[in-house]
Amino acid sequence: MDIAKECRKVLQQEGVNPASSIDFEVNGEVMSLTLDSIIESYMQASKESQLVFYSALKKAVEAKEMGVEKFFEGMGQLLLMTHLSDKFENLQ
C-alpha cells in the first residue's frame, strides 16, 4: 500500500487540495507548508510511523471535531518544532 497516495485520497474525499498551504509564524517570520509537503515529510519516517500518521488522519476525518485542517496544522507545527530543535542542538 502506498500510504502517501492513501493520505492524498483522504484529502480528495474531503474536498481538500493537497497543494493548499498552512502558514506558521516562527520567530517573527511566516513559513508556509503545503499539505503535500507535510505528507511527504512524514513519509520519510519508518513504515510504522507512516501507518500511525495515516491512521491519525483517518481518525481526524472520522471525528469531525478536529477536521483535516486542524490535523495538518498540528502535524506541521510538530515538524517545525522538530526542525528547530535539531537546529538548536547543532548550535550547542
Which set of grid coordinates corresponds to residue 57?
A: 488522519
Grid look-up 513504515 returns: 47
Answer whether 24's CB lies under 8 Å from 72's CB. Answer: no
* pLDDT value at 68 more than 80: yes
Nearest alpha carbon to residue 67 among 54, 76, 58: 58
Q: What's residue 90's pLDDT?
A: 55
Task: Indicate if the pLDDT at residue 91 is higher than 60.
Answer: no
Answer yes or no: is pLDDT of 66 > 90: no
Residue 64, pLDDT > 90, answer no
Grid cell listed for 44: 520519510
85 pLDDT above the threshold of 80: no
Domain layout of the chain by residue ranges: 3-91
pTM of the model: 0.85
Which amino acid type is present at position 89?
Answer: E
Give residue-wise pLDDT tens across range 7-61.
Answer: 999 999 999 999 999 999 877 889 899 999 999 999 999 999 999 999 999 999 9
d(CA 14, CA 8): 10
